[in-house]
A and B are shown apart, each in its own frame.
Chain A
């Protein structure tokens, strides 16, 4: 169980072992990478996991190339497959019907919500949100993204995203990422967390970098190591 769920059940707010998390954030902030890794982590713990690709602007590009691989790890992946999208045209921009009903599935649900603020509105299209009080919406932030590179910019951006339950510091510079880069993000995201009163759920980093940082970052946030899948996907 992660830190946040422990706090919640400890406080008696929501007694639910089911984990439902939606990952939102600035375009190219690393939502998919964080969501995929989270789904894998839960799956490895022997949980029943549904990973849902909810990018309605550019669907079928993100998870499609790694869908089979993720499924072989034991999870259910709700995303278009190449053969399903042939004939749909440019971006096949139609929500996969089963994604819309994903919250009614048994087991954990990890939602990868693509495409920034417009993507965050996708949550309105989901069925069963009201019946899923355990749903947590996490904003993924990379302070090396130019639109979210300062505390005031991040605050402005989060306001646009709508309700958020937790923050994820996913600060990186691709192959050039160092622990210092990640910790610069940790400081900024933690400051945002204090201002907004929204917890930092985790700092995420590539395995090598995560190893150097340790189990907690400089601000005391738990570190989630990431296996990088996205360089193998299209967008």
Chain B
């Protein structure tokens, strides 16, 4: 490999898509496979502009099905491979990513959500939460990070490669069109200088030696002919995921101890949530927030502990209840009241959240 893309720390003014491309470079990704779709295109643009300098690769495929399957292929060949997509591209990606779930392949996928259904809009949406967390057929397990600013986009894109390769579950970074195109300052750094050790990728196929003689055969399957066999394999996946969850789950919360209302928001909406809590607290109102950073595995226990009698959980999302579905599943049996604030495919401002809280307090 040629020189390092980043040495030391550098403060830069960037769009979210560029941040993702730089993060993938910094994380030592070997190859990106992709098919263009707004609003993720500049991830490809900036990746391809940079890679000649650093000896990395790119393959543009004929569609997202192929982009997903080639990413799967890259990982099988032992490459740190990733792809990026959005909207209907994300729908098509679910088949190859489902294969990655079945075969436990550390594929990294960046999703910059669009409005939907179908091609709809490209700017602002959180309508791909259900698809990204639970989109595969069967019951595959995956990790989904939801960053809310450019620094997190950088940090979590880097982290996603390590999570994927350490635990061998496909890992997603769930951004959105707004974060993708928004401009903001970010500190770029070399992860290794920060003490981050990269998990070394490993070949699945094409290993040296004779299978069965020098080494165990590599037997990676996405097809089973007996129910018992599949059942057994899935039990192992579920157990591994459950064991991993406490190590991977991330969330943040503030001012929740005495809160009458806890606002729940993720991703770009969290920016408004955080500012609303600050403003409402300054007015002396008992309001806090809970923000899941991993949407899967979801910080269920942590949120359930807050969902106590007499409290209101205001769920703010740019979707018609996709985060709410995760929340309800997590806190089942708790007695806090859920107050929806659903604005599918449109933005949510601090002012709107403040007004809504005052209405329900």
A144 / chain B contacts, CB cutoff of 8 Å: 11-13, 185
Contact with A along B195-215 (1 / 0, CB 8 A): 000000000000000000000
Task: Tell me the smallest distance from the CB of B280 to a CB of chain A, in Å.
Answer: 23
Query: Is A96 close to B, CB under 8 A?
Result: no
B18 near A173: Cβ-Cβ < 8 Å: no
Query: Is B15 close to A, CB under 8 A?
Result: yes
Interface bracket on A: 20 to 34
Task: Tell me the smallest distance from the CB of B29 to a CB of chain A, in Å.
Answer: 17
Task: Tell me the smallest distance from the CB of B109 to a CB of chain A, in Å.
Answer: 21
A196 / chain B contacts, CB cutoff of 8 Å: none
B183 near A28: Cβ-Cβ < 8 Å: yes
Query: Is A18 close to B, CB under 8 A?
Result: no
Say which residue of B11, B119, B123 sits within 8 Å of A176 (CB atoms). B11
Given contacts A28-B183, A173-B13, contact A146 B188 (CB under 8 A): yes
**9 residue pairs bridging A and B, Cβ less than 8 Å apart:** A90-B119, A90-B122, A91-B122, A142-B13, A144-B185, A146-B14, A174-B13, A174-B183, A235-B123
Q: Which residues of B contact A (CB under 8 A)?
A: 10-15, 18, 22, 38, 42, 46, 49, 119, 121-123, 181, 183-185, 188
With both beta carbons as reference points, the residue of chain A lying nearest to B87 in the complex is identified as A90
Contact with B along A192-235 (1 / 0, CB 8 A): 00000000000000000000000000000000000000100011
Task: Tell me the smallest distance from the CB of B277 to a CB of chain A, in Å.
Answer: 20
The 9 closest A-B pairs by CB, nearest first: A144-B13, A235-B181, A173-B185, A146-B12, A174-B185, A173-B13, A176-B185, A28-B15, A28-B183
In the complex the two chains form, what is the Cα distance from A175 to B184 in whole Å? 9
With both beta carbons as reference points, the residue of chain A lying nearest to B114 in the complex is identified as A90
Q: Which residues of A contact B (CB under 8 A)?
A: 27-28, 61, 89-91, 142, 144-147, 149, 172-176, 230, 234-235
A90 near B12: Cβ-Cβ < 8 Å: no
By secondary structure, the A interface counts as loop
A149 / chain B contacts, CB cutoff of 8 Å: 10, 12
A28 / chain B contacts, CB cutoff of 8 Å: 13-15, 18, 183
In the complex the two chains form, what is the Cα distance from A90 to B22 in whole Å? 26
A230 / chain B contacts, CB cutoff of 8 Å: 183
In the complex the two chains form, what is the Cα distance from A176 to B11 in whole Å? 10
Task: Tell me the smallest distance from the CB of B126 to a CB of chain A, in Å.
Answer: 17
Say which residue of A173, A176, A234 sits within 8 Å of B181 (CB atoms). A234
Task: Tell me the smallest distance from the CB of B153 to a CB of chain A, in Å.
Answer: 14
B181 near A146: Cβ-Cβ < 8 Å: no
A172 / chain B contacts, CB cutoff of 8 Å: 13
B13 / chain A contacts, CB cutoff of 8 Å: 28, 142, 144-145, 172-174
In the complex the two chains form, what is the Cα distance from A61 to B18 in whole Å? 19
B12 / chain A contacts, CB cutoff of 8 Å: 144-146, 149, 173
B183 near A146: Cβ-Cβ < 8 Å: no
Pick from B12, B22, B42, B183 the residue with the most CB of A within 10 Å: B183
Task: Tell me the smallest distance from the CB of A208 to a CB of chain B, in Å.
Answer: 16
In the complex the two chains form, what is the Cα distance from A235 to B124 in whole Å? 11
Say which residue of B14, B42, B184 sits within 8 Å of A145 (CB atoms). B14
In the complex the two chains form, what is the Cα distance from A86 to B122 in whole Å? 14
A27 / chain B contacts, CB cutoff of 8 Å: 15, 42
A176 / chain B contacts, CB cutoff of 8 Å: 11, 185
In the complex the two chains form, what is the Cα distance from A173 to B184 in whole Å? 7
Task: Tell me the smallest distance from the CB of B318 to a CB of chain A, in Å.
Answer: 14
B22 / chain A contacts, CB cutoff of 8 Å: 146
A235 / chain B contacts, CB cutoff of 8 Å: 123, 181
Task: Tell me the smallest distance from the CB of A72 to a CB of chain B, in Å.
Answer: 24
